[in-house]
């Protein structure tokens, strides 16, 4: 008995030593107050890599999770699913990366690998997908996953995205969520050169959508609720800007667009955009408002409005995320970022700006500045 006890003690000690020490910033309740936080991640497995995080983007969905907008959350929570860094360790079976390579992580760190979604490269819809944070990793003793506002992350090489050497690294992180979330439905919808299209909500996701659509040669109309972004929309190549709060702006828009992507993260009227679609037009919905303020599309509107299609889309699978990143870097498509230092205070200030709609267009935390 004594031997078994001392053996299990040794096992626990060995496990503790082999774990990966991490530190970052966590919230401990919905109050949004960040504090320095030290925690353990699992050890680097044979098929896994460790990434030293250099940059972490602040996504609007981080703010939703911290505040519990999408249901009850567990705390402490280290948010962050837009991660860019450098590989600092590799397991013995790893072939995709070597130490010193740049690597990115988006919203997913694992999935079952054998369901129909995984086989199709649509890991984001796998029932066993493990989210980068606010999740439990059933492949690692149900460990609580913690995100990118931290100094490192450990994950299977399959879910890490290769960042080309010539990438503008400080701008890469938001591509792993804002980039793929807009790139995927635009390509799924088959938008082509000359198409008249709309982007509803001109924030972190919206300004990526505009860039992808302009690159495809589409004529882009941008919709938002402020005058402040009119000049920015032009600067990114939109042909028209509509302030939805201005009735004059909204004239003569019905039946004009073949595709609309809605990135709006708050309550709004989707029917406004549905009416703008022409016959066979498509509306992609990627912005997810808080649950208690969920917009509604009455089905009679769908029936009366000429074969319009509405579809939802969630990030993108791993193969498409790699494709998006290579495409973005090759075509010099990046988010417009404001780099902030890794302090609790600057993260909290950034969250307030996101909530106030004052962010232009993405905050990225320089994790190297963490004390």
Distance of closest approach, residue 112 Cβ to Zn ion, in angstroms: 3
Which of residues 61, 150, 211, 322 is near Zn ion by CB under 5 A? Answer: 61
Which range of residues in 103-111, 195-203, 230-238, 346-354 is near Zn ion by CB under 5 A? 103-111
Q: Is 364 in the site for Zn ion (CB under 5 A)?
A: no
Among 171, 189, 188, which Cα is nearest to 82's?
Answer: 171
Q: How far apart are CA 24 and CA 85, in angstroms?
A: 15
Distance of closest approach, residue 81 Cβ to Zn ion, in angstroms: 5
Which of residues 47, 67, 89, 115 is near Zn ion by CB under 5 A? Answer: 115
Distance of closest approach, residue 335 Cβ to Zn ion, in angstroms: 12
Which of residues 118, 153, 189, 260 is near Zn ion by CB under 5 A? Answer: 118
Which of residues 51, 53, 56, 59 is near Zn ion by CB under 5 A? Answer: 59
x/- contact string, 327-356, with Zn ion (CB under 5 A)? Answer: ------------------------------
Among 56, 41, 42, which Cα is nearest to 104's?
Answer: 56
Residues 130-189 that bind Zn ion (CB under 5 A): 177
Distance of closest approach, residue 235 Cβ to Zn ion, in angstroms: 24
Q: Is 111 in the site for Zn ion (CB under 5 A)?
A: yes
Residue 362 bridge partners (DSSP): 337
Q: How far apart are CA 86 and CA 99, in angstroms?
A: 8
Which range of residues in 17-25, 51-59, 69-77, 148-156 is near Zn ion by CB under 5 A? 51-59
Which range of residues in 43-51, 115-123, 137-145, 328-336 is near Zn ion by CB under 5 A? 115-123
| 172 phi, psi to nearest 5 deg | -75, -40
Tell me whether strands 196-200 and 257-262 are parallel, antiparallel or unpaired.
parallel
Q: Is 22 in the site for Zn ion (CB under 5 A)?
A: no
Token digits for 266? 């708050």
Which of residues 112, 169, 225, 272 is near Zn ion by CB under 5 A? Answer: 112
Number of residues that bind Zn ion (CB under 5 A): 8
Which range of residues in 61-69, 137-145, 220-228, 316-324 is near Zn ion by CB under 5 A? 61-69
Distance of closest approach, residue 126 Cβ to Zn ion, in angstroms: 3
Contact 250, 231 (CB under 8 A): no
Q: How far apart are CA 215 and CA 91, in angstroms?
A: 39
DSSP state of 316: -
Among 155, 177, 181, 153, which Cα is nearest to 85's?
Answer: 153
> What is the contact surface with Zn ion in residues (CB under 5 A)?
59, 61, 111-112, 115, 118, 126, 177
């Amino acid at each position: 008995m004594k031997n078994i006890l001392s053996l299990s003690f040794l096992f626990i000690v060995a496990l503790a030593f082999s774990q990966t020490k991490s530190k970052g910033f966590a919230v401990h309740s919905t109050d949004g107050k960040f504090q320095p936080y030290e925690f353990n991640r699992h050890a680097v497995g044979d098929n896994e890599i460790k990434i030293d995080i250099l940059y972490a983007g602040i996504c609007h969905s981080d703010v939703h999770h911290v505040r519990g907008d999408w249901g009850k959350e567990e705390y402490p929570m280290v948010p962050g699913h837009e991660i860019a860094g450098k590989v600092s360790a590799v397991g013995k079976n790893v072939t995709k990366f070597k130490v010193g390579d740049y690597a990115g992580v988006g919203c997913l760190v694992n999935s079952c690998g054998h369901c129909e979604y995984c086989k199709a490269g649509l890991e984001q819809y796998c029932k066993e997908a493990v989210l980068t944070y606010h999740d439990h990793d059933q492949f690692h003793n149900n460990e609580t996953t913690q995100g990118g506002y931290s100094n490192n992350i450990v994950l299977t090489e399959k879910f890490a995205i290769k960042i080309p050497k010539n990438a503008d690294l400080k701008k890469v992180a938001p591509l792993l969520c804002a980039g793929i979330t807009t790139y995927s439905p635009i390509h799924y919808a088959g938008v082509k050169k000359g198409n008249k299209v709309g982007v509803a909500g001109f924030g972190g996701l919206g300004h990526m959508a505009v860039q992808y659509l302009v690159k495809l040669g589409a004529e882009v109309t941008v919709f938002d609720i402020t005058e402040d972004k009119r000049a920015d929309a032009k600067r990114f190549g939109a042909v028209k800007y509509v302030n939805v709060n201005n009735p004059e702006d909204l004239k003569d828009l019905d039946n004009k667009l073949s595709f609309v992507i809605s990135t709006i993260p708050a309550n709004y009227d989707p029917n406004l955009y549905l009416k703008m679609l022409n016959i066979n037009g498509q509306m992609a919905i990627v912005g997810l408002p808080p649950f208690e303020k969920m917009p509604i599309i009455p089905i009679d509107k769908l029936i009366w409005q000429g074969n319009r299609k509405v579809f939802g889309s969630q990030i993108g699978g791993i193969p498409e995320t790699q494709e998006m990143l290579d495409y973005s870097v090759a075509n010099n498509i990046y988010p417009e970022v404001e780099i902030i230092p890794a302090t609790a205070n600057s993260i909290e200030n950034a969250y307030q700006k996101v909530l106030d709609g004052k962010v232009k267009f993405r905050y990225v935390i320089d994790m190297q500045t963490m004390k």
